[in-house]
Amino acid sequence: DGANFTATSVEAKPVKRSSGPPFTTSTLQQAASGQLGYSPNRTMQIAQKLYEGIEIDGETVGLITYMRTDGVQMAPEAIDGARRMIGSEFGERYVPEKPRYFTAKAKNAQEAHEAVRPTDFFRHPNEMRKFLDNDMARIYELIWKRAVASQMANAEMERTTVEISAANAQTQHGNGTETAQKVAGLRAVGTVVRFDGFLAAYMDHKEDEEEDEDAKRLPLINANEAQAKQAIAATQHSTEPPPRYSEASLIKRMEELGIGRPSTYAATLKTLSDREYVKLEKRKLFPDSKGRIVTAFLEGFFKRYVEYDYTAGLEERLDEVSDGKLDYKVVLRDFWKDFSAAINDIKELRITDVLNVLNEDLAPLAFPPRADGSNPRICPKCGTGNLSLKLGKFGAFVGCSNHPECSYTKQLGAENAAEGNGGAGLDEPKILGTDPFTGEEISLRTGRFGPYVQRGDGKEAKRGSLPKGWTVESIDHEKALALLSLPRDIGQHPESGKMISASIGRYGPYILHDGTYANIENVDEVFSIGLNRAVAVIADKIAKGPGRGRTGTPAALATLGNHPADDQPITVRDGKYGPYINHGKTNATLPKGKDPASVTMEEAIELIAAKAGKAPVKKAPAKAVAKKAPAKAAAVAKKPAVKKAAVKKVAPKA
């Protein structure tokens, strides 16, 4: 602490660093994830809006080029615009003598489109902010800076190594003795920027694990110059396993391996998340138990089709098809010959055969070692049954072979299991308190489908699953009461007078009003959302399009009445492809330009009849239908008889 620090030597080597190419789909997703924290799917949604355009001075203007691309080149006029912008914004020194051109390094790159760039480099991000929301402004700025930097001059640096001596002075003691001087050698490695070049516009983002000491900036240091101590930090490094993938690094790896196309990266990651194959924690991807099961199954029975080189090889063959070098029928025949053979082999297996393979592959996850050293496959409840993976309505779990006599079950991947209560993760139900209104006991349990809270006992007990993001450790009496109170009535809608309620469903938190479901982002808002906010959310949902029930059927815009033939209702609805008339299973599209609100009953009947291909007549008598039925039945009955006789004649020869 009391040492004097001196730079004993400074060794500097000049280096130049050139800019990277403009964004492709994958590099845009990586940069947005690392610098802005946006998921790939969100990044593409924002980029889509920038591509489709915004209104500027009464005119719709697209701000960026097509955002699904693996190309790194820019059009000549774009390069010229970028160079002119650089000269006016940064100065002529930042404009290189010649334009820069790049070549795609991604495997299987098609380069059918330009790189992702601004349509006009003179639309500066600062000027565009007044036309964009915050997310769009941040993505546009990222794209603009990267594209501009790609045409800027090199950064000039010095890679510098500084040797520093830390020396304590000799200490003279009162008894005439002295302590010898102590010297420690220190080294600092980094870079000194002499000319920032493209770094004035854009700095590449690196993952934490990619950080390099050489990339650290150092101030200008001269040899034999005294240095001032600011702080001393002692750190210890040990060998660690390879870091887990983040969304950005997984996309980068898929691109390196030639897996997928620019349009599939975001969709792939979203599918992994939506199906709960992985979970995202601290921006790192961790496999969930469901994902482990699917992976083990595919590697056990379809190994060829999940190997890295298979997808990349198939992509190359499809490229040859698109280039006219290979017949697509050959590709399909080769694929189907092997794939159908694999399916035929596997479909003969019983479920127990598949589970036996999964039991071996997933043994560390399903049957972790026990502290007492006992056999982890023996049921801890009955002591005689064998534990094995089992399939339930909501997925796989670990159960006892003595079921139903033994009720032991355990959630896959849980270290402890509740014996007899069909749960996992808790040795026994945790009592949180009682319901102040009913006096029933409220407990926290973990079943085969995850943790939940329960009020009372028996089959009629009220239960509520823990929503996504809530942990077992965070659940207390107050939160349990809130979960068990759902659905929660918010209040009556001021226009319809019907109740608005909030709850948590299969697809997350939502509010419901008169058949219209509107999702809300925050789970906690289910318990706190007020009437004004709820009315606004419902209105926003209706403005974006008709609400859809859980069946996916569009809500009715108007009910015209009942059809005179069968007394079934006729309604006007607004679907994906425009407004239409619905009558039972018949949907008749309205003529182009027809106002849905002006449709009359007579017009609707005519449209329905035209769709069905007949005139609008009354319902046919039941007798007419009954007369034709026997003839049809006889025809159907004769067919199997002929087929059966043919089989008998051939069978002896076989």
Any idea which residues carry the catalytic annotation?
Answer: 66
- 123-151 pLDDT, tens per residue? 999 999 999 999 999 999 999 999 999 99
Q: What is the pLDDT of residue 109?
A: 63
Of residues 144, 81, 71, 141, the one with CA closest to residue 101:
71
pLDDT of 624-637, one tens digit each?
444 444 444 444 44
Mean pLDDT of 592-609: 81
How many CB atoms are located within 10 Å of the residue 268 CB? 16
pLDDT for res 178 = 64
Which of the four pLDDT bands, split at 50, 70 and 90, describes residue 421?
Answer: very low
| Cβ-contact 23, 145 below 8 angstroms | no
What is the reported pLDDT for 177? 62
Owner of token pair 């993001």:
469
What pLDDT sits at residue 635?
41
DSSP 473: G
Going from the C-alpha of 60 to that of each of 51, 386, 624, the distances in angstroms are 11, 67, 61
* C-alpha neighbours within 13 Å on the C-beta side of residue 131: 21
Cβ burial of 638 (10 Å; 0-12, 13-18, 19+) is exposed
The whole-number average pLDDT for the span 282-292 is 87
Output 111 or 184, whichever has higher pLDDT.
184
- pLDDT confidence of residue 426: 55
Give the three-class secondary structure for 445.
strand
d(CA 219, CA 7): 13
- The mean-pLDDT minimum among 87-101, 378-392, 573-587 falls in 573-587
First to last CA, the chain: 96
Q: Which whole number is the average pLDDT over 341-364?
A: 86
